[in-house]
Amino acid sequence: MIELLTADTPNGKKISIMLEEIGLKYKVTKINIYKDEQFKPEFRKLSPFSKIPVIVDHDNNKEAIFESGAILIYLAEKTNKFYDKKERLKINQWLMIQMAIVGPFIGQHHQFHHYNSGKSKFGEDRYFDIAKRIYKDLDEHLSKNDFLAGKKYSIADIATFPWITRHNWHDIGLKKYKNLSRWYSIISKREAVIKGYDCLNKGDKIPNL
Ligand SMILES: N[C@@H](CCC(=O)N[C@@H](CS)C(=O)NCC(=O)O)C(=O)O
């Protein structure tokens, strides 16, 4: 059994979606990051930077893994799913882009534009522009590829999708990006994605296009 320690955020949803996709038995332990539970010593033993998500694999000597990209790779290798050996180089690149660019920069856009608008024009403009560039670059890539790493759905898509589900917060207009919209709409219909998106069982629905 896998224990997923998480909160209801895009980084957390990546892992609940993956767990649904691969069909491993798991249980969710909620970490309330708004009440600083991530700083408790017992959680910091598992996650040295006090970040969700973390998994503990009770079928593998209680191995604990932090960092969502590393968790996705671990689960994909464990089950041999969504991480084709032949496509690994491509999958790794698109997974790394998500971890280094898509998540961190769209995360800043959330901070300046959605949560704290009016506090810093510089911050708002900077991350709005970067978020738009991310939409444009993903759209261009998806005009030539069905999924991020080519023809097959992979952990790179699983990592990126939850960030785009916040498109209503972004105010960029997902619909204007035809290829990104196509990709979004295909992934948002997957049964495992619908289930994993609602990681805390609150009835959370994937926002429509
Ligand atoms: N690179 C990390 C980022 C994880 C992350 O930023 N987690 C946030 C929630 S989405 C968190 O735990 N924030 C609490 C804090 O920083 O105190 C990953 O992908 O796992």
Which residue is closest in CA terms to ligand 1's atom 4?
Answer: 51
Picking from 199, 87, 99, the residue whose alpha carbon sits closest to that of residue 146 is: 87
Residue 111 Cβ contacting ligand 1 at under 6 Å: no
What span, in angstroms and rounded, lies between the C-alpha atoms of 6 and 86?
31
What span, in angstroms and rounded, lies between the C-alpha atoms of 36 and 28?
18
**CA 7 from centroid of its chain's CA atoms:** 12
Q: Ligand 1 test: best mutation among 37, 47, 52, most atoms within 8 Å of CB?
A: 52
Please tell me the distance between residue 51's alpha carbon and the centre of ligand 1 in angstroms: 4
Please tell me the distance between residue 6's alpha carbon and the centre of ligand 1 in angstroms: 10
Q: Which atom of ligand 1 is nearest to the CA of 12?
A: 10
Tell me the pTM. 0.98
CA distances from 189 to 82, 153, 174, 186 (A): 17, 13, 17, 6
Which residue is closest in CA terms to ligand 1's atom 6?
Answer: 51
Residue 38 Cβ contacting ligand 1 at under 6 Å: yes
pLDDT string in tens for the chain (209-residue length): 999 999 999 999 999 999 999 999 999 999 999 999 999 999 999 999 999 999 999 999 999 999 999 999 999 999 999 999 999 999 999 999 999 999 999 999 999 999 999 999 999 999 999 999 999 999 999 999 999 999 999 999 999 999 999 999 999 999 999 999 999 999 999 999 999 999 999 999 999 99
